């Protein structure tokens, strides 16, 4: 059965009243005053404190675990170890996930969970952890993924065999998977090239840096029902994973998501949640687990470290003839799990008839990685955009002109076979070139960098319901989490559809018992996909409003039309009736058939890719080796900015994260394989004094597959940021960086290299 949306597409000439404005966010006051409830804020009567014992070794066999002394401690109500988890075979997806939540045969990274306790106080729980005796047989470890690929590297998993690697056979390995994409004839393309550039780049393991640590409260009833409260980007996924790992029917697990204090992809899985459920089941009381910041760094999923090489060929007039990329992604202790967006996006901003991209996912003794805002893409774009910048210098071309000459346009194909519809790559480049920033003079020791980025965006399984109260106000129930202020944008679309004032609409989030399954809030999908199902829900409600108006007027349904929030007679032949507002009809709902609502369940399609261009000025102190960003402009295609200030905030946030990734952030491991900087004191994310005011420029090339033309905007702004900063540093010192972060020691070496050259 076709949806209402399929009956009406994007209307470019539609006059909008709400979309494109900047109303105050409905949840803003609660968040700035501290009234909003986050994961650690929930308190339940009789609640116990849960704590997790973590491995001090990066790689070791667990010979035995003795928790008897901990269980004998007064105030300890339950202890959980590997023996309490249902068994899944190693090497299967549930087996690996279960072993990441709680170690089985071996610990595989510093911070790997080994046991957990529930006690009446945090002090008792901490004391109990010290009483648990774990007998380890320490094994050799490997932290660096490049070394993990070598023949003599310690093997993490005896069962692991490479997928997608030619002639891999049954050889034990740490290489989990290989992805490869090809288009055209690469050898012929390079033979036709008159100028060739090659560049290599290494990026470190970095954390998403969300302010709120993971937290959850679990409560198990005597009849096996599980209630779970947690901070997550996908509470339906939490329900599915908890049910899977603990072999519980999904219908017996109800997950309620708290407000989210940041996630950026890092809160898409489970860590403490299954542990809290088992502790609650054993203790027969609610159990709360709140991770410390050190546990967040050591025991949850950061982004992968990478090693990349790009080779780019071009003619003397600047036309790209061939590209070749080879990438290595460190997946942590368990793989494969990374999406293959890196090799798919490395060249996809440009027209390249001859290209090849290969990616390897490699396991090592680090935490299992999780997505981080456009997972895998920023490091891939980094190496390519540095190569493009070098090509511009070799050809004597303006870096934006070179990109414009090769920019992807509607109808062009990607390396993985997708053909672009209307896209904004060219418009973003042209807007960047028009920026006053691009031609502004530079100061002493300053360099300017440019880079282009992209993300393909997704839709996916999404549900929502829309209910009209008797007073005409509207309540929306959503199944996707608000990770970046999406409530207000979705409410705005509902208000636009229904023709009601925005202050009459509220968007709320359902627990997993209130709606059908929803994919998590990832991939820049929330405003797009939830917007689609809410628009569908609103249009179904409008059909019902028209049906009720027809009943009130005693006319055929086709005799009623809906315009600007009113049901009106469709023509003079249906009588002289006064228009009925949404509230007028809702007041009579009881007499005309009951509550008026609309709901929708869709596997949303039609997400269109987003593009962006960043311009960055960096000033280098050549004595201290310090790079400081002094000016930053983000140009991005939003399709249609539903709430422009929200889009600007996404642009600014992505740029700030990119600055940190480029200049400051990295996991530092000692020779013993232990993480040395597991706090925000030592793992330094940017603070206000590190960044300038970031100027956003919104480009709008409508997505024709969305009623309002929007594109997802969350991922794109981080994708060019690393490269733009690196190119700016190169402009200031004359040498291109080859490793992130561009910290003072590395920058001083580059300055020395430039001096010698």
The average pLDDT across 569-579 equals 80
**Among 24-33, 384-393, 445-454, the least confident range:** 24-33
Evaluate if residue 707 carries a pLDDT over 50.
yes
* Residues 708 and 640: beta-carbon distance below 8 Å: yes
- Residue 165 has a pLDDT of 84
Please classify residue 602 by burial: count the beta carbons closer than 10 Å to its beta carbon, then call 0-12 exposed, 13-18 middle and 19+ buried.
middle
- Residue 164 has a pLDDT of 86
* Residues 51 and 531: beta-carbon distance below 8 Å: no
What span, in angstroms and rounded, lies between the C-alpha atoms of 666 and 743? 10
The average pLDDT across 673-694 equals 97
Evaluate if residue 334 carries a pLDDT over 80.
yes
Greater pLDDT, 169 or 675: 675
What span, in angstroms and rounded, lies between the C-alpha atoms of 546 and 68? 69
What is the pLDDT confidence band of residue 7, given thresholds at 50, 70 and 90?
Answer: very low
**Among 10-14, 180-184, 595-599, the least confident range:** 10-14
The residues near 200 (Cβ < 8 Å, ≥ 6 apart) are: 307, 308, 309, 310, 383, 738
Q: Is the peptide bond before 750 cis (omega within 30 degrees of 0)?
A: no
Evaluate if residue 475 carries a pLDDT over 60.
yes
Mean pLDDT, the chain, whole residue set: 96
DSSP string, 95-108: HHHHHHHS-SSEE-
Q: What is the pLDDT of residues 118-164, one digit of tens each?
A: 999 999 999 999 999 999 999 999 999 999 999 999 999 999 999 88
What is the pLDDT confidence band of residue 166, given thresholds at 50, 70 and 90?
Answer: confident
Please classify residue 6 by burial: count the beta carbons closer than 10 Å to its beta carbon, then call 0-12 exposed, 13-18 middle and 19+ buried.
exposed
- Residue 567 has a pLDDT of 97
* C-alpha distance from residue 246 to each of 45, 87, 334, 405, 583 (Å): 25, 9, 20, 55, 48
DSSP string, 521-547: S-TT-IIIIIHHHHHHHHHHHHHHHHH
3-state secondary structure 466-500: EEECCCCCEEEEECCCCCCCHHHHHHHHHHHHHCC
Q: What domains are there in the chain, each with its CATH number? A: 5-36+459-604 (3.30.365.10), 376-457+608-756 (3.30.365.10)
DSSP string, 189-252: HHHT-SEEEEEEEEE--B----SSPPEEEEEE-TTS-EEEEE--S-HHHHHHHHHHHHT--GGG
3-state secondary structure of 362: strand
Evaluate if residue 568 carries a pLDDT over 80.
yes
The average pLDDT across 265-272 equals 97
- Residue 339 has a pLDDT of 66
Q: What is the pLDDT of residues 479-490, one digit of tens each?
A: 999 988 899 999
- Residue 337 has a pLDDT of 72
What is the pLDDT confidence band of residue 338, given thresholds at 50, 70 and 90?
Answer: low
CA 74 from centre of chain: 43
Angle value at C-alpha 713, between 707 and 715, nearest 5 degrees: 140
For 540, phi then psi, to 5°, come to -70, -40
Q: Terminal CA-to-CA distance of the chain, rounded, Å?
A: 68
The average pLDDT across 276-292 equals 98
CA 40 from centre of chain: 22
DSSP string, 554-622: T--GGGEEEETTEEEESSGGG-----EEHHHHHHTHHHHTS-EEEEEEEEE-----EEEEEEEEEEEET
The average pLDDT across 694-700 equals 98
The residues near 710 (Cβ < 8 Å, ≥ 6 apart) are: 527, 528, 531, 638, 639, 640, 641, 642, 703
How many other C-beta atoms can be found within 10 angstroms of the C-beta atom of residue 722?
A: 33
Structure tokens that stand for 467 in this block: 């209910």
Q: What is the pLDDT of residues 191-244, one digit of tens each?
A: 999 999 999 999 999 999 999 999 999 999 999 999 999 999 999 999 999 999
- Residue 170 has a pLDDT of 84
Angle value at C-alpha 171, between 167 and 175, nearest 5 degrees: 80
* Residues 463 and 530: beta-carbon distance below 8 Å: no
What span, in angstroms and rounded, lies between the C-alpha atoms of 245 and 4? 39
- Residue 4 has a pLDDT of 53
The residues near 327 (Cβ < 8 Å, ≥ 6 apart) are: 306, 307, 308, 309, 342, 343, 346, 357, 358, 359, 360, 379, 380
**Among 11-20, 56-65, 649-658, the least confident range:** 11-20
How many other C-beta atoms can be found within 10 angstroms of the C-beta atom of residue 2?
A: 6
pTM: 0.96
* Residues 360 and 307: beta-carbon distance below 8 Å: no
Rounded to 5, what percent of the chain is helix, strand, coil?
30, 25, 45
What span, in angstroms and rounded, lies between the C-alpha atoms of 608 and 456? 6
- Residue 1 has a pLDDT of 44
The average pLDDT across 256-278 equals 97
Give the position of tokens 């004359």: 734
Q: What is the pLDDT of residues 77-121, one digit of tens each?
A: 999 999 999 999 999 999 999 999 999 999 999 999 999 999 999
**Among 22-31, 46-55, 243-252, 661-670, the least confident range:** 22-31
Q: Is the peptide bond before 741 cis (omega within 30 degrees of 0)?
A: yes
**Nearest CA to 287 among 300, 277, 272, 299?**
277
Evaluate if residue 355 carries a pLDDT over 80.
yes
What span, in angstroms and rounded, lies between the C-alpha atoms of 140 and 195? 45
């Amino acid at each position: 059965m076709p949806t209402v949306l399929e009956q009406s597409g994007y209307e470019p000439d539609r006059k909008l009243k709400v979309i494109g404005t900047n109303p105050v966010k409905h949840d803003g006051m609660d968040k700035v005053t501290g009234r909003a409830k986050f994961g650690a804020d929930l308190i339940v009567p009789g609640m116990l404190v849960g704590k997790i014992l973590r491995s001090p070794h990066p790689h070791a066999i667990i010979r035995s675990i003795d928790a008897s002394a901990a269980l004998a401690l007064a105030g300890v109500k339950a202890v959980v170890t590997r023996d309490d988890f249902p068994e899944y075979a190693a090497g299967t997806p549930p087996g690996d996930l279960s072993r990441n939540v709680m170690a089985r045969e071996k610990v595989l990274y510093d911070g790997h969970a080994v046991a957990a306790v529930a006690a009446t106080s945090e002090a008792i729980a901490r004391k109990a952890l010290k009483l648990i005796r774990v007998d380890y047989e320490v094994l050799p470890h490997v932290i660096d993924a490049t070394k993990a690929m070598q023949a003599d590297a310690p093997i993490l998993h005896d069962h692991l065999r490479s997928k997608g690697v030619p002639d891999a056979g049954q050889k034990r390995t740490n290489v989990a998977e290989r992805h490869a994409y090809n288009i055209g004839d690469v050898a012929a393309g390079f033979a036709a090239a008159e100028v060739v550039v090659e560049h290599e780049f290494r990026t470190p393991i970095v954390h998403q840096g969300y302010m709120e640590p993971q937290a959850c409260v679990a409560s198990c009833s005597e009849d096996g029902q599980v209630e779970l409260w947690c901070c997550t980007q996908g509470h339906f996924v939490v329900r599915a994973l908890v049910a899977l790992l603990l072999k519980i029917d999904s219908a017996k697990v109800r997950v309620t998501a708290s407000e989210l204090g940041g996630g950026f992809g890092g809160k898409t899985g489970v860590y403490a949640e299954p542990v809290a459920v088992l502790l609650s089941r054993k203790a027969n009381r609610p159990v709360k687990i709140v991770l410390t910041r050190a546990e967040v760094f050591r025991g949850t999923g950061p982004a992968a470290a990478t090693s990349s090489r790009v080779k780019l060929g071009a003619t003397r007039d600047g036309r790209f003839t061939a590209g070749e990329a080879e990438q290595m992604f460190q997946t942590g202790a368990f793989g494969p799990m990374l999406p293959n967006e890196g090799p798919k996006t490395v060249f996809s901003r440009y027209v390249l008839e001859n290209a090849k991209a290969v990616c390897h996912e490699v396991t090592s003794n680090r935490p299992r990685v999780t997505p981080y805002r456009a997972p895998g893409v920023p490091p891939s774009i980094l190496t390519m955009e540095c190569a493009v910048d070098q090509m511009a210098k070799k050809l004597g071309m303006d870096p934006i002109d070179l990109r414009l000459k090769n920019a992807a346009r509607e109808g062009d194909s990607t390396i993985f076979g997708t053909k672009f519809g209307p896209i904004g790559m060219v418009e973003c480049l042209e807007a960047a070139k028009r920026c006053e920033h691009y031609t502004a003079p530079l100061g002493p020791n300053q360099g300017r960098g440019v880079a282009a980025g992209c993300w393909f965006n997704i839709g996916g399984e999404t549900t929502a319901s829309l209910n009209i109260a008797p007073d005409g106000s509207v309540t929306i129930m959503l199944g996707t989490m608000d990770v970046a202020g999406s409530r207000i944008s979705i409410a705005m679309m509902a208000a636009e559809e229904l023709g009601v004032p925005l202050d009459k609409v509220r968007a709320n989030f359902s627990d997993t018992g209130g709606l059908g399954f929803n994919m998590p809030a990832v991939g820049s999908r929330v405003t797009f996909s939830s917007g689609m199902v809410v628009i569908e829900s609103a249009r179904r409600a409008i059909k019902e409003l028209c049906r009720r108006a027809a009943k009130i007027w005693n006319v055929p349904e086709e005799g009623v039309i809906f315009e600007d929030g009113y049901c009106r007679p469709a023509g003079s032949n249906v009588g002289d009736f006064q228009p009925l507002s949404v509230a007028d009809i809702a007041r009579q709902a009881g007499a005309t058939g009951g509550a008026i609502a609309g709901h929708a369940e869709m596997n949303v399609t039609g997400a269109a890719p987003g593009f962006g261009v960043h311009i960055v000025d960096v000033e280098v102190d050549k004595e201290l080796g310090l790079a400081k960003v002094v000016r930053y402009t983000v140009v991005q295609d939003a399709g249609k900015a539903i709430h422009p200030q929200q889009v600007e905030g996404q642009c600014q946030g992505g740029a700030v994260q990119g600055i940190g990734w480029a200049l400051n952030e990295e996991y530092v491991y000692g020779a013993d394989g232990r993480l040395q900087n597991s706090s925000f004191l030592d793992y330094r994310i940017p603070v206000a004094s590190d960044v300038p005011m970031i100027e956003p420029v919104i480009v709008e090339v409508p997505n024709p597959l969305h009623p309002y033309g929007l594109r997802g905007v969350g991922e794109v702004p981080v994708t060019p940021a690393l490269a733009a900063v690196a190119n700016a540093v190169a402009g200031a010192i004359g040498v291109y960086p080859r490793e992130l972060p561009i910290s003072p020691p590395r920058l001083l070496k580059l300055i020395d290299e430039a001096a010698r050259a």
